[in-house]
Amino acid sequence: MRQDVKTTDPHRNQRRVLRAVATLEFSKGVFVVLMGFCAVALVHKDAWLIAERLLSLLRVSTDRRSAQIFLDFADSVTDARLWAAARIAFAYAALRFTEAYGLWKARVWAEWVAFVSGTLLLPLEVRELFRGITFFRCALLVGNLAIVCYMLYVILQNRRERRNALTTMQ
């Protein structure tokens, strides 16, 4: 006979959500690794020329203010800045991959890492909303807030279950 799923695995839904968050964190890590490799690929290259070609490819007029800002930024890029950006990107990606692994395996430390890292991003996301409200910025804030609240829920629920288990053992 088949047993009821709820009696055999009370944390099945929790693991599903944790794995969804782990997949998101893994995706962020992959994206940042790609950006790190792009930074390394630009070392010893003329970033201004590459930026101009990119604008041309995207059919963006170099007369536009945003294009000029982009070109000015590309002109100020140095090899040292590119190496620093790559190091930061790879370190950040390592954190994301570690967090994704821990969440996939339902480790308590990973729940705390997800909670703290998500909470640290909230003020930055709110600041971005003050700069201008867009759908993308609102979606990022709401998504991050949902993850932070869920991680807090998981942490508190697991702590409560461990306490109950300890009291029943005594």
Of 1-15, 59-73, 125-139, which gets the smallest average pLDDT?
1-15
pLDDT level of residue 126 (50, 70, 90 thresholds): very high
For residue 157, the 8-state DSSP code is: H
Residue (of 104, 97, 103) closest to 151 by Cα position:
103
For 28-56, how does the pLDDT look when each residue is reduced to its tens digit (9 = 90+)? 999 999 999 999 999 999 999 999 999 99
Residue type, 149: C
Per-residue pLDDT, averaged over 165-170, amounts to 79
pLDDT of residue 93: 97
Q: Give dist(CA 66, CA 62) in Å, integer.
A: 8
Contacts of 39 (CB under 8 A, 6+ apart): 82, 83, 85, 86, 89
pLDDT level of residue 3 (50, 70, 90 thresholds): low
pLDDT level of residue 2 (50, 70, 90 thresholds): low
CB 115 within 8 A of CB 159: no
Straight-line distance from the first to the last Cα atom of the chain, in angstroms, rounded to the nearest whole number: 34
Residue 139's H or E segment, with its range, is: helix 135-169
